[in-house]
Structure formats: C-alpha cells, structure tokens
Chains A and B, each alone.
Chain A
C-alpha cells in the first residue's frame, strides 16, 4: 500500500506519456485520473494509519550506493509530517487532474499534459517520503524538472520558454545550496539518513567546521545551506523572481505547482529538518528575517499587479513567507498547518482564476474584466470563499493557521525572548495581513463587481464552466471552509501528540501556551487589520475618494504605484546587476578571450600560424648566392672555434644540432 502510492503516479505518467498515442486522449485522461485517485485514496488510508493510529513506517527497498562510509538506500519514511504532505499533494493533484480534463479540452497534447502532471506528482511523493537526503534530492530535482516541463507546456510560446528556463535556473541556484548542505551534512555526520542525523544533532551542537581558516558553526552552516535550497524552491526574497513568471504555464499547473505543492517543498524541508534547525538560533533568526520580509514584500507587490494570476502568485509568495517565519519562530506544526490550509484555498483561488480566464476567452488582465458575478455566480462565490480564507476571515480555514502565526509573533514580542527580531516579524506580518486582505478584495472587485471592461464579443461568450471543472472547485471550496476547523485540534491543539518524533521543538522555544493568554485586543489585531484592508478595498472601488487622493498627490502616488507594479524593480536590478554582467562575462571573457583567444593562440591556431612564419624567415637565408653560403660556413667555423676555446661543453651539442638544422632546413 505504501509503495503503491509512489508507484501508481509513475505508472500513470509512463503509460499516458509513452502510450498516449495508443490510449488516445480519453484513455490517457481516464487512466491517469484513475491512478491519481487510487493514490489519493491510499494516502488517506496512510493518514489514518500513521496519523490517527500513531505509527511510523520505514520501508527499505534496496541499497543504492555503497561506497566506504557512504551508504545510500532506496528507503521510505512515513511519519506524521509525511502523511500530511501526502494528503496535501495527492488530493490537490487529483483535483487538478480532474480539472484539467475540461480545462485542457481543446489542447492537442492532452496525454503529454497528463503525463507531466503525473510525473510531477510522483517526484513530489519521492521528495516527501524519502528517508535520506539524496533520495529527497532526487525528488527535489525531479519537481524542478517537472515544473520546467509544465511551465513550458506550450513550448511554441517564447514567454513560456523564457519563464520555464528562468524557473529552472533560479531553482538551480537554490539546489546548489541544498547540495552543499547535503555535502556538509555528510562531512559532519558521515551519513545522509534522516534518523541518524536527527539523533546525532544534539551531540554536534558545539561542532565547529574550519574552512579557509574561518570557523563555522557546523549546524548553522548546514541550516544556511538548507535554507538557500528552501529560498530557491519556496520563492523567498532573493530568489522569488521565478514564481510570478511561472504563471506562463496553464492555470492548473499554476494551481498544482506554484500554489499547493512544489513551492511548499522548501517549507517542508525546513519542517523536516526541525530537529537540526532548532539547535541553531542563528538559523531561526535568518528564517524569521527572510520569511517576514518575503511576506511583506510579496503582499505589497500583489497590490498593484494587474494580471489575475500574478496577484495570486504574489499572494502565494507572501503566504510562503508566513510559513518560513513560522518555522523561524520554532512553530513548525503551525507552519505545516498553514501549508495544508494554504494548499486548499490557494488551489481554489488558482482554479477559480482559471475558470474565470476560461470564461472570458483567455483574458488574464483584471482591468479588462468586471461584473462577472452575475454570469459566474458559482465561481464568484467560490473565489469569495477563497479570498476570505486567504484574508483570514474568522472561522474559515486561513483564520486558524494565519492568525495563530500572528498571535505567536505577538507572544514573542510581549515576552522577553529574542524580542527585537520577533517584533520585526510581528510588524511585517501584520502589515502583510492588511495588504493581503486589500489585494484579495481588489481582485474580487476588479473581476466580479466593478463595471465591466470586457469587449462585447467576449462578453457574449461568458459562461459558467462545466461539471468537471466545477467539481474540484466545489470540493476545494468545502476544504477552504472546513479544513482549518477540522484539523485545528489535531495539528496545533494544545498538547497534541500527533507529531510524535517527526517535529522537534525545544522546550525553551515553545510558546504555545503563552499564545493562548494574550491580551484580547492583541488577538483582535490581525482581524482588525484584514477588515481594514477589506474596507479600504471597498472604499477605493466604490467611491471616488481614491481617484481624488491619487490626483491630489500624483507624484508620490505614481511613484509607489510604479514601484509595486514593477515588483520593486527586482527583476530589472537582477538583470542589470547579475544576469547581463554574467552573460557578457561568458561571452567576452570565457568565449572570446579564453576559448577563442588565449587557448587557441597557444594551441592549434597559433602553432599553424607560427611555423610558416618561421620557415619563411629561415627560407630567406638561402639566397642561392655562393658567397652568402660561404659567409655562413665561415661564421659557423668561427663560432665553433670560439666555442671550443671558451669551452661551452654543456651547450656544445645543442649548438651543433642548431647549426645542422640551420643549414639543412
């Protein structure tokens, strides 16, 4: 049963990929959906067995690499973290599979699409079930590859090619960090198995690594490298630029990869390595810093985006920031809870956005939509549920995880623990709540409620999507409504023993109890902020005050509007400062100066030029005049006599050879 979860998506991918011609698109669709539904069913069984019955399952399949001290095996670990991730990945993936049957209905390459979705699911499952780092790395690279294939699904489009390459390369920067992390772990612990690493970590708390004469704290170094990996995969600030561009792929892909599953791999890595990260407060600090900055940055950027999918992409980025800084506050279970909830409502938002885009003849710009609520009542209500859940509206899914994260930041800023930098996270996180609520409702207004800007032809064609597209939306809608409430006690209930040994929180880092006894006003704060964001969105879209203010202070307002619309100029700065210099370095230094220049000059090209020149020079000595020949003879004679007298015994043979060559060339 456990291995079947992994094997079924692989089989589905191989058969619908290679046998797509034989099966036809209907056969490929049915087969892959059958595989993924069976996987989902099995992973629910696993969730019951692991999560509720409180067992942990190791499966050793076979040995992979055995070389001296290095032993890597194909083996799988199913513990509570894995079982949760299994539920998230397989359920979102199966819903996306069902959704894309209808969404990709008119595409000529449906079997290929299904195969890619399935192979992505397979690699994601490899990533989350691995019990050693190398096998995890296989899944990690595999989902990167699958994301490349899926973003580049419409490979005839230039933008899709570019953004797929960007996604792959930016991810590769993080993967480099992760591979360094694996090597460091092997250097320190002499193993890559999770179980050994985690049980040995407390012993290596004061282990120092010497590199280039600098002293590094071993666990901090590992944590930094793992965090670099997570930055790439989970689109944290610095390597976040690929995520919004990855919206070039089909919408189900965005829902599956860039909302619910692939981007959560980085957070999953941090949660999985909680027994290691806990022992280095520096890493926790870095996580808080980067996570809260990402949350704030992405939330603010989302405010002025016009592309329907990019708003949601930045929202994903922002929510990933929340998860990371929840990890930084040692609240790994809260982070995983938010990950689960976020998967549901973000998949809902993305798939609803896909439904909207489908309805308005593939128009993605929100400025050219509007007043769709009458035409798409189901999509509207589902998207409203998703947005409210995202904004942390009470008793929806987002409320239980997001507000709890913010309460935890408050706890720490009100206690004496590390108060300075937690306060930082607290402020940025709370500000992001405001922005999140604002852009969610801006999206609702621009798409569904404002006057329409759609042209007449596409306006006539607006239609609610069919059953196969609505069903996943409705299921996800119910998920967004109830998942948080249902899983609250299991995940973050006070004193829950659900996690068992899979998540470690040091007693002096645990602040759950304090969070329960915060001042009431503080507990209300995130709610107030999100309500304020919603009200502000209402005011700006319903009244003309905003345009009055905008035109009153046009300079400063357009500055901020441009700054956020252009994503704080991150891409431009990266292109100017890193990408273009690197490319021109590659062209000028590596290619023109070294490859085509220096090495060729020393190598074949230079020698072939040199020898004819020399032979021409020596040829000129042979004039055909006897007198000149005589001159050389006598000169040689004199030289020989002089050399004999002065006794260059050592060089004599050399001279002899030289003169012989000289005369016989």
Chain B
C-alpha cells in the first residue's frame, strides 16, 4: 500500500509547492502562513512515511511534536497578524517595509 518512493515524492512535492507558495506569492500574508503550514504538513508526512518504512516509532513521535509546534506557531502567527491588522488596517506584504536597511 505504501510505496515508499511515491510517498516521499508526494511529500517532497508538497514541500516544494509550499516553498514556491511562499516564494512566488508577493501579495497575501495569509497565503504565506498557509504555505508555511503546508511545509510543516509535508515534513510531518515525511516523518510518518519514514517511520512506517523503517518500522520505527520515533518518526511518529516527532510528527506529533511538529503538529503541536505547528499549531502553536500558527496561533501565534495569526495573533501577530491580527495585532498588525488592528494597527495598520492592512495585511498587504508589499507595504511591510519599515525595517528597511
């Protein structure tokens, strides 16, 4: 049922798509956050597939940990986003350039 290489390629593809989602998206910060979540997802998938393939439980433990970390991270990120929106009334990425060097 689990063809290892197809699973790996799926998760890698997912990772690549999410990287491209961050990379190519120039406008919306929500999409970037979602892509970030997708990266976590891809990595979790990878851990789980590897754990099954290698018959080792550590990978699944890690994926559970990543799940919690990702949840915490997305909640903090969304909270920051909300604070940001409350102050500036916009969440457009292009206008976030106060930290110019």
Asked whether any CB of chain B lies closer than 8 Å to the CB of A67, the reply is no
Distance A619 CA – B25 CA, assembled complex (angstroms):
24
User: Are B19 and A634 interface neighbours, CB within 8 A?
Assistant: yes
Chain A contacts for B93, CB-based, 8 A: 625-627
614-665 of chain A: CB within 8 A of chain B:
619-627, 630-631, 634
User: Are B94 and A630 interface neighbours, CB within 8 A?
Assistant: no
> Quick one: closest B residue to A618, CB to CB?
B101
Shortest beta-carbon distance, A626 to chain B, in Å? 6
Which residue of B19, B32, B97 is within 8 Å of A623 (Cβ)? Answer: B97
Q: Mark B69-101, 1 if CB is under 8 A from A, else 0.
A: 000000000000000000000000110111111
User: Are B97 and A622 interface neighbours, CB within 8 A?
Assistant: no
Could you name 24 residue pairs across A and B whose Cβ atoms are closer than 8 Å?
A: A620-B101, A622-B100, A622-B101, A623-B97, A623-B100, A623-B101, A624-B96, A624-B97, A624-B98, A624-B99, A624-B100, A624-B101, A625-B96, A625-B97, A626-B29, A626-B32, A626-B93, A627-B25, A627-B93, A627-B94, A630-B22, A630-B23, A634-B19, A634-B23
Interface residues of B (CB under 8 A from A): 19, 22-23, 25-26, 29, 32, 93-94, 96-101
Distance A119 CA – B5 CA, assembled complex (angstroms):
105
Chain A contacts for B22, CB-based, 8 A: 630, 634
Other A-B contacts than A621-B101, A627-B93, A631-B23, 20 sampled, CB-CB below 8 A, are A619-B101, A620-B101, A622-B100, A623-B97, A623-B100, A623-B101, A624-B98, A624-B99, A624-B100, A624-B101, A625-B94, A625-B96, A626-B29, A626-B32, A626-B93, A626-B96, A627-B94, A630-B23, A634-B22, A634-B23
Chain A contacts for B96, CB-based, 8 A: 624-626
591-632 of chain A: CB within 8 A of chain B:
619-627, 630-631
Chain A contacts for B97, CB-based, 8 A: 623-625
Chain B contacts for A627, CB-based, 8 A: 25-26, 93-94
Distance A634 CA – B22 CA, assembled complex (angstroms):
10
Residue with the greatest number of chain A CB neighbours at <10 A, chosen from B29, B99, B101: B101
Shortest beta-carbon distance, A250 to chain B, in Å? 75
Residue with the greatest number of chain B CB neighbours at <10 A, chosen from A624, A631, A634: A624
Chain B contacts for A619, CB-based, 8 A: 101
Shortest beta-carbon distance, B23 to chain A, in Å? 6
Chain A contacts for B94, CB-based, 8 A: 625, 627
Chain B contacts for A630, CB-based, 8 A: 22-23
Chain B contacts for A634, CB-based, 8 A: 19, 22-23
Distance A630 CA – B101 CA, assembled complex (angstroms):
16
Chain A contacts for B25, CB-based, 8 A: 627
> Quick one: closest B residue to A615, CB to CB?
B101
